Structure 1
Amino acid sequence: DDEYIIIGSANLNQRSLDGGRDTEIAHGSFQPDHINGPNGPARGHIYGFRMSLWYEHFASKYMENMDVFNEPESLACVRLVNKIAQHVWELYTGDEVVELPGHLLPFPVRVLDNGNLVNWNEDGTFPDTSASVKGKKSTILPPILTT
C-alpha cells in the first residue's frame, strides 16, 4: 500500500523476526506524512522506491502503461506482473541465450484448487540444475535446523 516498506531477507514470521534462530535481517520504514486517506494513496519515498524497483525488475520495456503500477493491489496489475514474469521465464528457459528484459521470474510451481503444489517440469528441479524446487527433508540434519 506504499505506506510501509520492509527490506531484507527475513521472512515475515515469528521465527525470522524474533532474533532467536535466524541470522536474517530486515528493515522497516514508515512515513507518517504519506499515508492512504481521503486525499488519495500514499505517494512518498516508499512509493518512489517501489516504483524504481519495479522499473528495474520489470524492465522499462514493460512499463509503458505506468498507471496500472500505481495500484499494485488491482487485478489488472497482478495480471500484468504475472504476464511479465511468465514472458521472462520463457526467455530464461528457452534454448537460445538472450539478454533478459527484466529480473522477475515466477516460482516454477502451480497451485491446484485443493492447495497442492505441482512442479512445472517433470523432474521437479530448477532449470539447468539438480536443485529441487520443493526442497526435501535432510537425511543428516534434524528438522529444527532446516524448517
Structure 2
Amino acid sequence: MQNGEQPRDRFSKFLTQVEAEKRIIVFPLNHVPGIFAFEEGRLTCMDVVSGDGAWSFLASFIKDEEIGNVVSISWPQFASEKGLKANDEVSFFKQAGDHGNEEEQGPWKKFRIQVRRQIRLFGQNIWGDLMV
C-alpha cells in the first residue's frame, strides 16, 4: 500500500528487516502530511491504542541526507511483545485529541494501530490482522 493513496488521517507501511530488528519504524515526512510538523531534533509522544491496551511511542524528527526528512517512531516494548516481523503491514489512524481538536499540533498525538501479516494457507497468500 502506498502512503500517497491514503487519507490524511492514516499512514502505513510494511516493516523492513532492519526496522523489525531495531524495533523502530521510519516514515519519510512526505508520507505523513498534516499529521506531523517537522522540527529537527524535536520529540513527539504518541498515545496509541490497540485491541488489547494502550501504548506510548516516541517519535523523533531526523534530517537524513539520503531520504530527506523522516519521522522515526520508537516502540521497543510493543514490537517485542507483539513479535513484529519484516513485511508486517503497520497502520496508524489519527484520533481526535482530548477536546476533539483535529488540528492539534502539540507534542502529544493520539492514534489507533493495526498490524496485518501475510500468511500462506492452502497455497494461497492471505492477509490477517494480528491481535494487537
> Same-fold call, TM > 0.5?
no
Q: Greater helix percent: which structure?
A: 1
Structure number with higher relative contact order (C-alpha < 8 Å, ≥ 6 residues apart): 2
Classify the TM-score, shorter chain: under 0.3
TM-score scaled by structure 1?
A: 0.22
Q: Which has the larger radius of gyration?
A: 1
Q: Greater strand percent: which structure?
A: 2
TM-score scaled by structure 2?
A: 0.24
